[in-house]
Amino acid sequence: MPFIPHTASDEQEMLGAIGVPNIDALFDEIPKNLRAATLSEVPAGISEMALQRLMNQRARLDEVALSFLGAGAYEHHIPAAVWDLVGRGEFMTAYTPYQAEASQGTLQLIYEFQTMMTRLTAMDVANASVYDGATALAEAMLMAVRANKSNKSNRVVVAGNLNPNYHAVCHTIVKNQGLILDVLAHDPATGCLPGAVEAALEGAAALVISYPNFFGGLDDVDYLTDSAASAGALVIGVVNPTALALIKPPGEWGTRGADIAVGEGQPLGIPLASGGPYLGFMCCRQQFVRQMPGRIIGRTVDQTGKPGYTLTLQAREQHIRRGKATSNICTNQGLLVTAATIYMSLLGNEGLRQVALTAHSGTNALTNLACQIDGVTARFSGPVFHERVLSLPVDASLVVEKMAAHGVLPGLALGDWVTGMDDCLLVNVTETKTAADIACFARLLADAIEEVKATC
């Protein structure tokens, strides 16, 4: 945090020089109903030494021997070369490449990232980039309402099996923009959206589909996309980039494909780090490119015919009038984009596919082993990618506590996230988990269940 040297008298002197009575007057154009209230939950300041001690203590709380927790952030193997290259000064200290002639390397790398993401999602164009997956979805909602010229509704239908964190972030961002978010409840038997959605989509500007969904399942995206198109609604796909190495990309959903695709780029070479930083990616069909927030890198030729790269279509408030801006995004998460680009370059098409296949087969192996434990079953039927919900014979949060005490984080207890799922555990397996790891999980799960039973 930067040191701010201004005293109260300094502030008064500056305010007097510009003829303003107080600091609040500098923000009088902001309506009072939009201003934040007093930050009552912010604690008193502490010393630098005390802060470092506190953060070290909290960081140690994250140390576990094995983690099967996913729910939006995933532990993948990251080749050593990724962050060795990202740590080079050319990337680590590079600033936004406004000066194209001095930033060709950075611009080309971002251009390659955009190309890779369009290939992965089968969409026409990608930006580079937005803050994270959740805020990417919020921006996509705003973009869809602007872009849907045939339907002036401000209502967005959101899949009920979307990650609850994503839904909460989107609500916070778009509520003051006048958007209405209607939740389309999932089928309690399958965890997927119901087989009849036409009535829910009537008059909606857009439909948000999560693929895979929060429970790990795979919805019928072809039916959902075609239903939305028939209702005049645009389709926003929230996708896992690793999964797209195996499952149908959003650009190929239904007859016409999704209109916008967003997601979290963390699985692409970015380590788990107590919540970030991450990067959000966003792709769309060509016809909506001018509504896309953030920035796009374009490839052209110079006066001698040599290829060159430059920033283009920067419809941000830094560059145009605020009222006409598509977004106030002020970063492209460039360092994380660099890591993701190098990661995808090293793995290639087949490498990413093998990562996805190994994760999928590991999830099936864990499910089969866990379901041999008395009282443990798969909560939902249907195909999954690399996450699945297990139904336990006891409270899942108590099982998590027992297993965590042995250094194994077994997954996410869903009781605090979804009503009526206190006995459910969302588990994730990636290519980092061996057969021995999965066997350890099953053994500790069985022991933890018996311990909980004994105390109830």
Q: What's the pLDDT score for residue 3?
A: 61
* Greater model confidence, 235 or 333: 235
Inform me whether the pLDDT recorded for 1 exceeds 50. Answer: no
Q: What's the pLDDT score for residue 264?
A: 97
pLDDT digits (tens, 9 = 90+) for 274-284: 778 899 999 99
Q: Options 3.40.640.10, 3.20.20.10, 3.30.1490.190, 3.90.1150.10; which CATH number does 66-73+349-455 get?
A: 3.90.1150.10
Q: Do domains 66-73+349-455 and 80-342 have the same CATH topology?
A: no
Q: Options 3.40.50.150, 1.10.10.410, 3.40.640.10, 3.10.20.90; which CATH number does 80-342 get?
A: 3.40.640.10
The tokens of 70 are what? 């996913």
Percent of the chain with pLDDT over 70: 95
pLDDT digits (tens, 9 = 90+) for 302-318: 889 999 998 887 655 55
Q: What's the pLDDT score for residue 328?
A: 66
Calculate the alpha carbon distances from 120 to 123, 126, 159, 246, 253 in Å.
Answer: 8, 11, 23, 10, 13
The mean pLDDT value for 247-257 works out to 97
- The three state secondary structure string of the chain is CCCCCCCHHHHHHHHHHHCCCCHHHHHCCCCHHHCCCCCCCCCCCCCHHHHHHHHHHHHHCCCCCEECCCCCCCCCCCCHHHHHHHCCHHHHCCCCCCCHHHCHHHHHHHHHHHHHHHHHHCCCEECCCECCHHHHHHHHHHHHHHHCCCCCCCEEEEECCCCHHHHHHHHHHHHHHCCEEEEECCCCCCCCCCCCCHHHHCCCCEEEEEECCCCCECCCHHHHHHHHHHCCCEEEEEECCCHHHCCCCHHHCCCCCCCEEEEECCCCCCCCCCCCCCCEEEEECHHHHHHCCCCEEEEEECCCCCEEEEEECCCECCCCCHHHCCECCCCCCHHHHHHHHHHHHHHHHHHHHHHHHHHHHHHHHHHHHHCCCCCCEECCCCCECCEEEEECCCCHHHHHHHHHCCCEECCEEHHHCCCCCCCEEEEECCCCCCHHHHHHHHHHHHHHHHHHHHHC
Q: What's the pLDDT score for residue 316?
A: 55
* Greater model confidence, 54 or 322: 54
Domain ranges of the chain: 66-73+349-455, 80-342
pLDDT digits (tens, 9 = 90+) for 378-410: 999 889 999 999 999 999 999 999 999 999 999
pLDDT digits (tens, 9 = 90+) for 347-366: 999 999 999 999 999 999 99
Q: What's the pLDDT score for residue 21?
A: 93
Percent of the chain with pLDDT over 90: 76
Q: What's the pLDDT score for residue 268?
A: 98
pLDDT digits (tens, 9 = 90+) for 101-158: 878 999 999 999 999 999 999 999 999 878 999 999 999 999 999 999 988 899 999 9
Inform me whether the pLDDT recorded for 44 exceeds 50. Answer: yes
Mean residue pLDDT of the chain comes to: 92
For residues 82 and 269, the answer to whether their CB atoms sit within 8 Å is yes
- The model's pTM: 0.89
